[in-house]
């Protein structure tokens, strides 16, 4: 068993670990990603189309037609969701192993010219682009299956051996390298726009210090029989309720926005038996508080534990998450013709610009 934080990222702690028992053995195995020791910083981008009507999957080519050339993303995955305002969204999540390749791709592929064109502000769709540039010390991952990568794991060298820091409250912080020396307190207030003219159709938002994001995924493709029935009928509805709570009432809990998305087959656009929630918290502390004690998450955890006990801990469900805690300068948010509750506009008092 090994530590979640690799040796080359270990520092002398000024912020204590939550795990005080060095002999602690988790009740079940879990793994984390391992990257090359020279990995420094990454790019994770969410490209989205928004519409009052259902969006044909072929429209993903508005973005993916630019995923070509030597600087294209190393991995991308499509997903969809319908928000509380009944707007449909088609989302592409894309990953780059560094910042410079992403910046070169923006220019060389022609995407930047397309994205910044005033024509985007006169089309039938709304669009948004949310980009993050986490350093290797500013994110952590956890997987219930060592052989099934998701998200940023597709960029990794591989997986760790079984790790110690999981299955207790506070383990998320213990896995985060930057938390060895930084409390990661968030910034008060809502998101503010950047030089946005009155009634502008294109809105950019300033980042917030130590914004915490969690992308938490569920894959029940390989479940069958009793396990499939238990997950679909008893676990997933409780999970959906929790995600809906964060989406509609999360501000009081320090959650700026939450999207519960269904993963799509990249070739056909068909819905898969895979979902993920993407939630934006003011900081890691607010995420931890919701996970530890809020009734919605307590119910999610309780339904999951009942499920695994009924299956005698022999399950084919696969779970993962990636958590980031990143500075304001490593965040980019831009919304074109989107309604006022879209993404992080949710906290910004702007005019509804969607026709």
Q: Which residues are catalytic?
A: 321
Distances (CA, A) of 73 to 8, 122, 217, 254, 265: 26, 28, 20, 31, 17
The DSSP secondary structure of 316-336, one letter per residue, reads: --EEEEEEEEE-GGGEEEEEE
Q: What is d(CA 289, CA 302) in angstroms, rounded to the nearest whole number?
A: 16
d(CA 97, CA 133): 10
Q: Which pairs count as long-range contacts for 59-66, CB under 8 Å and 24+ apart, including other chains?
A: 59/90, 59/125, 60/90, 60/92, 60/269, 63/92, 63/111, 64/92, 66/105, 66/109, 66/110, 66/111, 66/114
Could you give the 3-state DSSP secondary structure of residue 276? strand
* 3-state SS class at 49: strand
138 three-class SS: helix
**In what helix (H) or strand (E) does residue 43 lie, and over which residues does it extend?**
strand 43-51
d(CA 142, CA 160): 10
Tokens 């008092």 appear where?
349
What CA–CA distances, in Å, run from 67 to 58, 74, 129, 167, 300? 15, 10, 15, 38, 37
- Other C-beta atoms lying within 10 Å of the C-beta of residue 64: 17
- What one-character-per-residue DSSP string does 196-240 give? --TT-SEEEE---TTEEEEEEEEE-TT--HHHHHHIIIIIHHHHH
Both structure tokens of 293: 């004690």
Judge whether 251 and 346 are in contact, CB under 8 Å: yes
**Is the CB of residue 32 less than 8 Å from the CB of residue 175?**
yes
């Amino acid at each position: 068993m090994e530590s979640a934080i690799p040796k080359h990222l270990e520092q002398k702690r000024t912020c204590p670990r939550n795990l005080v028992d060095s002999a602690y053995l988790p009740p079940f195995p879990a793994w984390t990603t391992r990257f090359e020791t020279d990995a420094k910083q990454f790019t994770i981008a969410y490209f989205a189309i928004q519409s009052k009507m259902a969006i044909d999957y072929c429209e993903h080519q508005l973005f993916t037609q630019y995923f070509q050339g030597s600087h294209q993303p190393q991995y991308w995955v499509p997903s969809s969701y319908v928000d509380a305002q009944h707007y449909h969204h088609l989302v592409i999540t894309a990953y780059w192993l560094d910042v410079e390749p992403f910046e070169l791709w923006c220019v060389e592929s022609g995407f930047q010219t397309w994205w910044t064109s005033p024509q985007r502000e006169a089309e039938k769709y709304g669009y948004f682009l949310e980009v993050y540039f986490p350093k290797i010390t500013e994110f952590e991952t956890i997987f219930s299956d060592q052989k099934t990568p998701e998200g940023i794991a597709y960029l990794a060298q591989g997986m760790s051996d079984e790790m110690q820091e999981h299955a207790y409250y506070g383990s998320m912080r213990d896995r985060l390298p930057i938390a060895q020396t930084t409390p990661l307190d968030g910034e008060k207030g809502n998101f503010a726009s950047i030089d946005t003219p009155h009634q502008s159709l294109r809105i950019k938002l300033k980042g917030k210090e130590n914004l915490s994001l969690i992308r938490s995924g569920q894959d029940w493709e390989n479940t069958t029989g009793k396990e499939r029935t238990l997950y679909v009928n008893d676990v997933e509805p409780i999970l959906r309720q929790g995600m809906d709570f964060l989406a509609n009432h999360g501000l009081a809990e320090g959650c700026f926005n939450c999207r519960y998305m269904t993963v799509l087959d990249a070739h056909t656009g068909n819905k898969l038996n895979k979902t993920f929630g993407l939630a934006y918290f003011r900081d890691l502390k607010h995420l931890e508080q919701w996970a530890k004690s809020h009734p919605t998450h307590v119910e999610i955890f309780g339904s999951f534990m009942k499920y695994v006990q009924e299956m005698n801990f022999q399950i084919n469900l696969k779970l993962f998450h990636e958590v980031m805690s990143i500075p304001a300068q490593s965040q980019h948010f831009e919304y074109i013709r989107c309604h006022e509750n879209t993404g992080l506009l949710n906290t910004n008092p702007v005019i509804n610009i969607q026709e």
